[in-house]
Amino acid sequence: MSLLLSFLLLGLAQAPTAQPTTPAACVKAARDFVQSEQRVLKQITGDAIRKIEAGKVALAQKCAVQFNVATIAEADLAQLIALYGEAEQPAHAKAALDRALGSKTLPVNVRADVLAQAVLTGLREPKSQERNARLEGYVDQLDRLKGDLLETQLSAHARMNGFYRGDDIDDGIIKHSTWLIERAKTFTPQQRTQYGSIIVSAHINMAEVVAGRGDNARTQQLLTAAKTNWSDVPNADLMLAPAMARYALVGTLAAPISAPRWLNAPPNTSIAMPGAVTLLEFTAHWCGPCKESYPGVKRLLAKYGSRGFRVVLATELYGYFGTERSLTAEVEVERDREYWAHEGLNVPVAVEDQRKAPVRGADGKFTYFENPNDKAYEVGGIPQIHIIDKQGRIRLIMVGYDDVNEARLSKLIEQLLKEK
């Protein structure tokens, strides 16, 4: 018997002995299974998470076979869509959605739940422009419904906003952050408490987009408004402080980049920022959005490299590369060398030491160890790109990378190259 099959049987054996009889109960059972299995993990690894996910899918599929899309009560359609999402059965989910959307008798609150669930389930599908446009259509339909649907509508907008932030799609972030910020103006005190953290995140997401477009004044306005108007939200200051510190760096002198190891530069090099127009990108070999930025960065380097423009990358050791684990520093650096050479970025790459694990003190609080380059530039997520002028001043900070930004970066670099 394979290890995976043994695991699945073990997981199913630990599920409730009585088969759930409603889609909602099946969804709950599948999600409870994931939580219970994760709690007993001695070590969280990719393999362990994948096995738990496989167990959940098997459990959801077993539960789903008892339902018929054509005959199930309309009130259960939203949760049936959710169940098919957990079971990784998109064709069944679409059938349930089609029936719900085609119904002339579906109550408004049920239609709203169906649309919101269609968004959540759709986000599990492979990314594509077609999928995104379809999900936006569901959100737009949801917004047009009349009634007390704030929680459902807000959840859909927040989910889409989170996806776009993770995938660095600026227009999507702007659309949903704007909706959330505007809708929050009508919140009751209870709603402020319940949903405030979502609204603070929307301010931060929007601020990151407009900062990447060069509007640092608007960035500061958004962050200040969040701090002023939402300070009563638990942990609001903790959420806002890193972003406020990051964008306060615009206009200041950039710190030199130093590291004990370098690619395409001698060990222990320290690169001072004055003297050239510099694109400094904080990146990592495992970072998908970083990889998506490289073609645009290479085009900028090809276009302006002969005119005093340079690219510097900053990363660190992680102890692994791809599926290889427990790598020595020397081996990982060689993997990094091959990786960035393959990407066509034969530029200086600072490779900092691997961070030490957090240490818990006698008071129970943890001490975290930071990468000094990350700290100097208030890195909050990667890729994080800084455009630095000839005088060594930070002129733009971009968190994430959207291809539409390449033209804006090009325009700014062109401008900075002309400055004295």
* Average pLDDT of the chain, as a whole number: 93
pLDDT at 342: 97
In the predicted structure, residue 12 carries a pLDDT above the cut 50: no
Q: Which two tokens stand for residue 12?
A: 């199913």
Average pLDDT over residues 8-32: 76
Distance CA(22)–CA(106), nearest Å, equals: 19
In the predicted structure, residue 10 carries a pLDDT above the cut 70: no
The pTM of the full predicted model, rounded to 2 decimals, is 0.87
Q: With pLDDT > 70 as the criterion, what percentage of the chain qualifies?
A: 96
pLDDT at 364: 82
Distance CA(234)–CA(417), nearest Å, equals: 45
The DSSP annotation for 388-405 comes to E-TTSBEEEEEES--TTH
**Do 237 and 256 form a contact (C-beta atoms < 8 A)?**
no
**pLDDT band for position 120 (50/70/90)?**
very high
Quick one: DSSP state of residue 16?
-
Q: Which two tokens stand for residue 243?
A: 């972003």
**DSSP-based three-state secondary structure for 253:** strand
In the predicted structure, residue 16 carries a pLDDT above the cut 60: no
Query: Phi-psi region for residue 107, left (φ > 0), alpha (ψ -120 to 50) or beta?
Result: beta
Q: Which amino acid, 224?
A: T
In the predicted structure, residue 44 carries a pLDDT above the cut 80: no
Q: Which two tokens stand for residue 396?
A: 């733009």
**pLDDT band for position 17 (50/70/90)?**
low
Distance CA(309)–CA(331), nearest Å, equals: 31
2: buried, middle or exposed (CB in 10 Å: 19+, 13-18, 0-12)?
A: exposed
SS (H, E, C) 352-384: ECCCCCCEECCCCCEECCCCHHHHHCCCCCCCE
With CA atoms as reference, report the closest residue to 211 among 393, 378, 374, 386.
Answer: 386
With CA atoms as reference, report the closest residue to 352 among 377, 322, 325, 387.
Answer: 377
Average pLDDT over residues 314-319: 96
**pLDDT band for position 8 (50/70/90)?**
very low
**pLDDT band for position 368 (50/70/90)?**
confident
pLDDT at 109: 94
Task: Using the structure block, give the residue that is written with the tokens 């900092």.
Answer: 352
Angle at 382 between CA 381 and CA 387, to 5 degrees: 105
Distance CA(355)–CA(360), nearest Å, equals: 15
**pLDDT band for position 362 (50/70/90)?**
confident
Task: Using the structure block, give the residue that is written with the tokens 């952050």.
Answer: 177
**pLDDT band for position 9 (50/70/90)?**
very low
**pLDDT band for position 46 (50/70/90)?**
confident
**DSSP-based three-state secondary structure for 269:** coil
In the predicted structure, residue 77 carries a pLDDT above the cut 60: yes
The neighbour count for residue 298, using CB atoms within 10 Å, is 16
Tens digits of per-residue pLDDT, 376-388?
Answer: 999 999 999 999 9
Tens digits of per-residue pLDDT, 298-307?
Answer: 999 999 999 9
Tens digits of per-residue pLDDT, 225-256?
Answer: 999 999 999 999 999 999 999 999 999 999 99
pLDDT at 28: 96
Average pLDDT over residues 271-281: 98
**pLDDT band for position 1 (50/70/90)?**
very low
**Do 301 and 319 form a contact (C-beta atoms < 8 A)?**
no
Distance CA(405)–CA(16), nearest Å, equals: 51
